Amino acid sequence: MKTKIILDTNFLLIPAQFRVDIFSEIRRVCDFNYELVVVAETIAELKKIIASGRSGGRDKKAAKLALQLLRKYGVRVLKNYRKVFKRADDAILDIADKKSLVATQDRELKRALQAKCGLIILRQKQYLQICE
């Protein structure tokens, strides 16, 4: 059985912000069978960042790179047919379970997920670590 690794929006901005290859880092820390996924709301948030282009275009470039990387690595998009969420965090909270890991930098989301599933986080702006 594959472990689902759910990638959060802010986590997908790491390659552009900190020049960390999150996909090779995930391969390094995950010595088990896994599948990378995102919720549909994450794609919507990335597109919204591109459309708004705030922070002088830095976030816009980071979001564009994130979408390119998702396509390049064939990350599956999960659609929740039961509910429609405005925020990716809410969708992630809905689908995360003991058999999944969530890759995020969001402090509130990390706190909400602590008892629910494991986390993959960025340490020292250089490498990833799994927190169970």
Domain-wise residue ranges, the chain: 3-131
The predicted structure's pLDDT at residue 115: 86
Q: What share of the chain is helix, strand, coil (3-state, %, to 5)?
A: 50, 20, 30
Q: What is the pLDDT of residue 52?
A: 85
pLDDT in tens, 20-71: 999 999 999 999 999 999 999 999 999 999 998 555 678 899 999 999 999 9
Gap between the Cα atoms of 91 and 75, Å rounded: 17
127 phi, psi to nearest 5 deg: -150, 165
**How sure is the predictor about 83, in pLDDT bands with cuts at 50, 70 and 90?**
confident
Assigned CATH for 3-131: 3.40.50.1010
> What pLDDT is attached to residue 33?
96
* CB contact set of 74 (below 8 Å; sequence gap of 6+): none
Contacts of 47 (CB under 8 A, 6+ apart): 63, 67
pTM of the model: 0.93
